Amino acid sequence: MALIEMQAAVLQRFSVSVSLGQCQRAKATAMAMIEGKLEDQYAKVWNYASAIRLSNPGKTCLVGVESNLGCNYFKRFYVGFKAFRDGWSKGCRRVIGLDGSFLKGQVKGEISTAIGRDEDNHVYPIAWAVVNFENKDNWTWFIDNLVADLDLGTGNGLVVILYQHKGLLQAVANLLPHLEHRKCARHIFGNFRKKYTGLELKSLFWEAAMSIVKGDFLATMEKIK
């Protein structure tokens, strides 16, 4: 129920006027009673990992914590299902996209993802992780687990598409030194259109990005200039 609807319902039922702030606090209290506090949810992460391992034989599920003054604090959580791993190895192109998205709300952090492309050129999930911060250490941990799961070796015959996340490029270079590196055209275009607007430049950008012949790419780049 939206806060405005909640405010109107209280007025109609109890003939009491309440502010939106009071409605927000009441709703938060009610949700905490129903779902439990966020701290309690994180305390169950070990049980969650055990349930995943029992229900999905052969998968990888790892929990990382930091200890301070006798207390454990959540650091990171990795999941790689065996079915996804086998599907990528047997039926997908040797292309992996690495990206991350910041978590919003009371508990911060980032979700890191590895995706592939199947034979129909559709997005194929491979593995993901939730980490406390975006940094080289967490990206290295995520990619190291991914390399072990998919038996990627040093990256021979592999293409990785990534963007300029903090520490990601260095982690990839250290763990997969022989891969072919590409940057995400969509992210590049997002920065491009901030300065260069218009449908003509947009069309030329994607024409260059989709070029499969070097001469066509260079000709389109000259048009953009």
Q: What is the pLDDT of residues 62-105, one digit of tens each?
A: 999 888 888 888 899 999 999 999 999 998 989 999 999 988 87
pLDDT at residue 221, as a whole number: 94
- Residues 110, 198, single domain; the answer is no
Q: In whole angstroms, what is the distance from residue 151 CA to residue 193 CA?
A: 38
Q: How many domains does the chain have?
A: 3
- Residues 178, 205, single domain; the answer is no
The pLDDT of 18-42, averaged and rounded, is 85
pLDDT at residue 33, as a whole number: 83
- Residues 205, 164, single domain; the answer is no
Q: Which structure tokens are listed for 8?
A: 């109107």
Mean pLDDT of the chain: 90
- Residues 83, 149, single domain; the answer is yes
- Residues 154, 45, single domain; the answer is yes
pLDDT at residue 182, as a whole number: 83
Q: What is the pLDDT of residues 114-156, one digit of tens each?
A: 999 888 888 999 999 999 989 999 999 999 999 999 999 999 9
- Residues 171, 216, single domain; the answer is no
- Residues 66, 136, single domain; the answer is yes
pLDDT at residue 67, as a whole number: 86
Q: What is the pLDDT of residues 99-113, one digit of tens each?
A: 999 888 777 899 999
Collapsed DSSP state (helix, strand, coil) of residue 14: helix
- Residues 21, 125, single domain; the answer is no
Check whether 164 has a pLDDT greater than 80: no
pLDDT at residue 2, as a whole number: 85
Q: Which of 103, 101, 83 shows the shortest CA–CA distance to 92?
A: 83
In contact, 147 and 115? CB cutoff 8 Å: no
- Residues 68, 162, single domain; the answer is yes
DSSP 121-184: S-EEEEEEEEESS-SHHHHHHHHHHHHHHHT-TT-TT-EEEE---TTHHHHHHHH-TTSEEEE-
> Locate tokens 């592939």: which residue?
116
Q: What is the pLDDT of residues 166-223, one digit of tens each?
A: 889 899 999 999 998 888 888 889 889 898 889 999 999 999 999 999 999 999 999 9
Neighbours of 46 (CB within 10 A): 11
Neighbours of 160 (CB within 10 A): 22
Q: In whole angstroms, what is the distance from residue 82 CA to residue 117 CA?
A: 17
Q: Which domain holds residue 80?
A: 39-183
**What is the pTM for the complete model shown?**
0.76
- Residues 24, 113, single domain; the answer is no
pLDDT at residue 38, as a whole number: 74
- Residues 99, 168, single domain; the answer is yes
Q: In whole angstroms, what is the distance from residue 77 CA to residue 87 CA?
A: 22
pLDDT at residue 112, as a whole number: 94
